[in-house]
Amino acid sequence: MKKIALFADVQNLYYTVRQGHGCHFNYAALWADVSREGQIVEALAYAIDRGDSKQQQFQQILRNLGFEVRLKPYIQRADGSAKGDWDVGITLDVIEAAARVDQVVLASGDGDFDLLLERAMQRHGVETVVYGVPGLTALSVIRAASRYVPIEGKLLLKH
């Protein structure tokens, strides 16, 4: 059975699904979809911690599905802009996991991950799968992946 590591860029998914579809992402459907490919042996969700109860409920839902939730504090800069970026953490975790699994699944449309996917394939021979919102997923990351799965249909939570 194929061993799979699943990585979810929560901020990217939240904003791209909201922008592209006007709703929320269905993490349970993602888990079910990926599970059909093999056994999820590692699953990490990367989020920003604002400390509110609604977010804490959401994080608990992710944990109940099987994700390890990694949190970073939300930082408001003096100029009003915000910082909350997990790119380096995701990159380190994917490269480490790529040595142990057959497939790496990244749920993010962020083009910064194109080199990461190429390197994981070159160094470790893993299959790489990207889940991203059509039109809001960087072409470079789609091209770098072994396979691209558009976020639509059952992967959306319609209210």
pLDDT confidence of residue 83: 67
List of the chain residues with pLDDT < 70:
81-84, 159
Q: How many CB atoms lie within 10 A of CB 51?
A: 9
Helix (H, G, I), strand (E, B) or coil at 80: coil
Give the per-residue SS3 of the chain: CCEEEEEEEHHHHHHHHHHHHCCEECHHHHHHHHHCCCEEEEEEEEEEECCCHHHHHHHHHHHHHCCEEEEEECEECCCCCEECCCHHHHHHHHHHHHCCCCEEEEECCCHHHHHHHHHHHHHHCCEEEEEECCCCCCHHHHHHCCEEEECCHHHEECC
Q: How many CB atoms lie within 10 A of CB 154?
A: 12
pLDDT confidence of residue 25: 98
pLDDT confidence of residue 77: 76
pLDDT in tens, 85-126: 799 999 999 999 999 999 999 999 999 999 999 999 999 999
